[in-house]
Structure 1
Amino acid sequence: MLDDLLRRHDGVITLTQANRAGLTEQAVRRRVRAGHWRRCSPGVFFVDDREFTDAARIRAAVWGYGQSACASGLASAWWLELTRFPPDIVEVTVPRDSHGRRHNGSRVRRRNLAHLDIIERRGLRTTALPLTAIEAAVRRGGGPKLMDQALQRHTELRQLWGAHLRNTGRYGSPAARLLLQAADDGTKSQAERLFTRLLNASGISGWKANQNVIGYEADVLFGAAKVVVEVDGFAFHTDPETFERDRRKQNALVLAGYQVLRFTWLDLTEYSERVLALVQSAISAR
């Protein structure tokens, strides 16, 4: 039972868990004195016979603040696989009436969270995906692409708004509102939002975002000109199945008489004037 627990929990264990597995407090102390277990914080230990991974570091940091604590911000984003890069400082959210000192390597935020905003993943309490996405997106090292990941793969804009409105007044709330308002133009990715902003700023009109065309969803459609623009954002899928589906979609649109333009994030950020010139040329030719 103990070995299974340690394997599932990245080598991290609390005193309460050790007691439940049959170890007394004295037995735990003997393991610490012998150097087999390392004390991470009061009541939290790491079995020092394996690598102290990022998962172990985040788990130990959160558990160090008690049973009501949960990972949040970039720590939660990494735990929920919204980002590949774990943060150096683990953000932990605890209830407002919690006590205890801050531990090295962590940052504490005291806030009472709604039941909807907390989940458990791999034995660790963490903020739920919608709240995680809007909080991590405004952290340094986060960025709008975290919100893109959530919108494209896991959740919906209304769920992000719900999490935001349940937690107004938190750190980063005004910046998160701006991101959510930007996402409300009907597009799903940051790249699409950037493209529609470019169109609006240039005065190019006659387009709609996310329109159904012969059974496919077009990122941007110029209906009168029969021009479709596809935009590849940060979270663009490159797996073989998606690659083939995108090519079938493009071929079907061309055969139906639509001209298809495709732009990457690099096109939009580095060559925006060229992008707009191509769009203007395509819709003018029709």
Structure 2
Amino acid sequence: MEREIRIEGSRDHRSASRRAAELSRRQFGAIARRQLLEIGFSPTRVRDWLRCGRLHARYPGVYIWGRPDTGDEGNLAAALLYSGRSAALGGLTALWWLELLGHEPVRIHVDAPGRASSRPGLAIRHPRRVERRMHRHLPVVPLAEALLPAGESLSHNAMRLVLARADFERLLDLSALHTALADGRRGSRVVRAALGAHLPQLARCANGFEREFVLLCEAHHLPLPEPNPRIGRFRPDMLWREARLIVELDGSGAHSTAAQLAADGRRQAELERFGYTVARFSRAEVHYDPGGVMEAVRHHLI
């Protein structure tokens, strides 16, 4: 966080309040007490602003400027300021901020030197060394350093999805990851198992239903399809290129109206004119008769 903060010092003759407002804006609404004092606020003025609602306490010594509500960036910036200099988003929060994890973690996870203690909603780790990379204006730890602590919380397939997304976004540094795994730290078992069963196709799935279908194919030892490939002007859900087989997955509500059904029919007819076999399965079929669905796919692949 500190690399984003550049206080001008005595050369800047603007009022302390204006400089504080600009600094908080650069920090997404968050500001630390020590920063206010460096700018020229007195302890009494800080207390007065807290009392009148111009500052709102978020953590000990960390405030939100103006309005108490702030966005994701402000929440993360406040956590970083509280955690101390050279802190970085870590673990699940780093993966989420890198857009590799599909849901926001319940707690903010930070790696930091120093001795700042965890708070409700904020988990602080103190590794021996904290490396930082800037991503979307906030510092995060390197991917390998985020994956290991996340391995204590994520399931096998959730970790595989994170790795697939990292691979798709060209963020996956296998050399750095293998070096981190060699230390035998907590979480390494889950990461190593997910890496051994790496499934890049997961990153190309548009939703959980498609990911479920790919994992079902894997569990039934079927050749894995390409999710959402480009065929002419279409992107069918699943493709087995050599077998020229397409599977369309009809999620609940997505293919129910007369207009939608007519569009599906025209799309299927055109794909069949290209020489593809098109099979359709509903969410209910996949959920309640997965074996039957897989046998039907297997029959088409023969």
TM-score range, shorter chain: 0.5 to 0.7
Q: Secondary structure at the match of 1:167?
A: helix
Q: What is the aligned counterpart of 1:111 among 120, 127, 135? A: 127
Offset at residue 210 of structure 1 (A): 3.9
Q: What is the aligned counterpart of 1:74 among 69, 72, 92? A: 92
In structure 2, relative to structure 1, the CA distance for the partners of 1:258 and 1:84 (3 Å cut) is closer
Contact 1:71–1:125 (CA under 8 A) maintained in structure 2? yes
- Superimposed CA distance per residue, residues 223-264 of structure 1 (whole angstroms, 9 cap, x where no aligned partner): 2x432446799xxxxxxxxxxxx9999766432312133557
Q: Is 2:276 the partner of 1:258?
A: yes
Offset at residue 105 of structure 1 (A): 2.9
Contact 1:253–1:260 (CA under 8 A) maintained in structure 2? yes
The root-mean-square deviation of aligned C-alpha atoms, in Å, is: 4.4
Letter in 1 for 2:141: T
Q: Counterparts of 1:213 and 1:165 in 2: how far apart (Å)?
A: 34
Q: Secondary structure at the match of 2:83?
A: coil
Q: Is 2:140 the partner of 1:126?
A: yes
Give runs of aligned pairs for residues 87-236 of structure 1, distance below 5 A: 87-95=105-113, 98-112=114-128, 115=131, 118-122=133-137, 124-128=138-142, 132=146, 136=150, 139=153, 144-145=157-158, 148=161, 151-152=164-165, 155-156=168-169, 159=172, 161-162=174-175, 164-168=177-181, 169-184=184-199, 188=203, 189=205, 190-191=211-212, 193-200=214-221, 207=223, 209-210=225-226, 219-221=238-240, 223=242, 225-229=243-247
Q: Counterparts of 1:232 and 1:176 in 2: how far apart (Å)?
A: 33
Structure 1 portions without partners, runs of 5+: 234-245
Letter in 2 for 1:195: L
Q: Counterparts of 1:213 and 1:84 in 2: how far apart (Å)?
A: 24
Q: Is 2:77 the partner of 1:59?
A: yes
Who is 1:243 aligned against?
A: none
Structure 2 portions without partners, runs of 5+: 1-18, 206-210, 252-263
Contact 1:164–1:173 (CA under 8 A) maintained in structure 2? no
Structure showing the higher strand proportion among its residues: 1
Letter in 2 for 1:108: I
Q: What is the aligned counterpart of 1:2 among 6, 11, 20? A: 20
- Superimposed CA distance per residue, residues 90-143 of structure 1 (whole angstroms, 9 cap, x where no aligned partner): 221124xx334333332222225674x632433x32235676567547525x87
Q: Secondary structure at the match of 2:278?
A: strand
Q: Counterparts of 1:81 and 1:35 in 2: how far apart (Å)?
A: 34
- Superimposed CA distance per residue, residues 136-156 of structure 1 (whole angstroms, 9 cap, x where no aligned partner): 47525x874575367458844
Larger radius of gyration: 2
Q: Secondary structure at the match of 1:13?
A: strand
Q: TM-score, normalised by structure 2?
A: 0.63
Contact 1:73–1:139 (CA under 8 A) maintained in structure 2? no
Q: Counterparts of 2:162 and 2:244 in 1: how far apart (Å)?
A: 30
Offset at residue 170 of structure 1 (A): 3.7
In structure 2, relative to structure 1, the CA distance for the partners of 1:195 and 1:247 (3 Å cut) is farther
Q: Secondary structure at the match of 1:61?
A: helix
Q: Secondary structure at the match of 1:257?
A: coil
Q: Secondary structure at the match of 2:172?
A: helix
